[in-house]
Each structure stands twice: as C-alpha cells, then as structure tokens.
C-alpha cells in the first residue's frame, strides 16, 4: 500500500529535515508506517501531529513499539545476526539507511528492555566500533526517560 509523506524537522530550530512515510488520519494527525532514520521520538504505528512552530512531531498516541538504531561496524553481520535475534523477541529489522550506516529495528516494548539490551549489547561487544541507541525512549537531552511505556493505555 502506498504511503503519504510528511516533512518534519529533525531538531527544533534547525533546517535538517526527514521525510516520513505515514498514513494520513485527518485533522492534522498521522500514523507512522516506516520508522525514521534520523528523527527521535517515533516508532512504527505511533500517531502524531506536527508542531507548526518547530515542525517537530508531537506524539499523541504510542503504539507500544520501540525504535532501535544500530550503527554497525560490519553491515552484513548486523543484518544476519540481529535480524534473527530481533525476530526471536517479536521484532523486525525494518531496513537500513544512510548507505547501510544505520540499521533500524522495531521491537515491541513487551519484549522487555533487558532482553533488547542484551542482544544489542552483545552485538556491540562482539563487533567493536558498533553502537546502538533507542530512538524513542529518551527525551531530547538523551538522558531523561520518556516513560511512556509505564502508561498501560500508552496514550499521551
């Protein structure tokens, strides 16, 4: 099914933008269909609006998915090993971007943070030079947890 596309600012106050694949829901709301490669705060199936001043997405309803970005030292090994590990947790490799410099995974939050962290930390340990991060778990400061997963309704 074809997607609609919207442009959002990657960081408020900057000219950098990312085009997101979405389903338009109406009334200025969108549902994310493909995870972002550069925009923090979003996961597949999240519903969001675009702040008219900052052009940043504002999540209105969380899907219960986590977005994980992996910056692998070895792209081939990352795709093979981590795809299987993510699938074992109910997740998936959604693709690679930026010439295979970032791999984007979607995992359900109920896979648990310890289980997710175990597989990505193991990969980084076994592949020096690789790094990973959660793209929708921390506030813009990169430290403060958003804690949306503690709300059983997952609404914002």
List per-residue pLDDT tens for the chain, 156 residues long: 567 888 787 765 556 889 999 999 999 999 999 999 889 999 999 999 999 998 899 999 999 999 999 998 877 766 778 889 999 999 999 987 777 788 999 999 999 999 999 999 999 999 899 999 999 999 878 889 999 998 744 444
Among 9, 3, 66, residue whose Cα is nearest residue 30: 3
The reported pLDDT for the residue numbered 156 is: 44
- Given a contact cutoff of 8 angstroms between Cβ atoms, the answer to whether 6 and 17 are in contact is no
Does this model's pTM top 0.85? yes
The reported pLDDT for the residue numbered 155 is: 45
Whole-angstrom distance, CA of residue 93 vs CA of residue 95: 6
The reported pLDDT for the residue numbered 2 is: 62
Among 121, 144, 146, 126, residue whose Cα is nearest residue 136: 146
Q: How far is CA 95 from CA 17, 85, 89, 105, 149, in A?
A: 19, 15, 17, 7, 24
Domain edges within the chain: 4-61, 65-134
The CATH architecture of the domain made up of 65-134 is 2-Layer Sandwich (3.30)
The reported pLDDT for the residue numbered 5 is: 80
């Amino acid at each position: 099914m074809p997607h609609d596309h919207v442009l959002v600012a990657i960081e408020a106050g900057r000219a950098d933008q990312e085009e997101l694949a979405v389903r338009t829901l109406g009334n200025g709301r969108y549902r994310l269909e493909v995870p972002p490669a550069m925009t923090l705060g979003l996961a597949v199936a999240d519903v969001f609006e675009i702040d008219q001043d900052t052009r940043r997405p504002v999540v209105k309803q969380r899907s219960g998915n986590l977005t994980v970005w992996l910056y692998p030292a070895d792209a081939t090994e990352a795709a093979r090993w981590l795809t299987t590990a993510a699938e074992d947790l109910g997740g998936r490799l959604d693709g690679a971007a930026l010439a295979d410099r970032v791999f984007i995974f979607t995992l359900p939050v109920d896979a648990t943070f310890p289980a997710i962290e175990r597989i990505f930390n193991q990969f980084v340990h076994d592949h020096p030079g690789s790094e990973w991060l959660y793209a929708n778990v921390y506030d813009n400061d990169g430290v403060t947890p958003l804690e949306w997963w503690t709300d059983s309704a997952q609404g914002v």
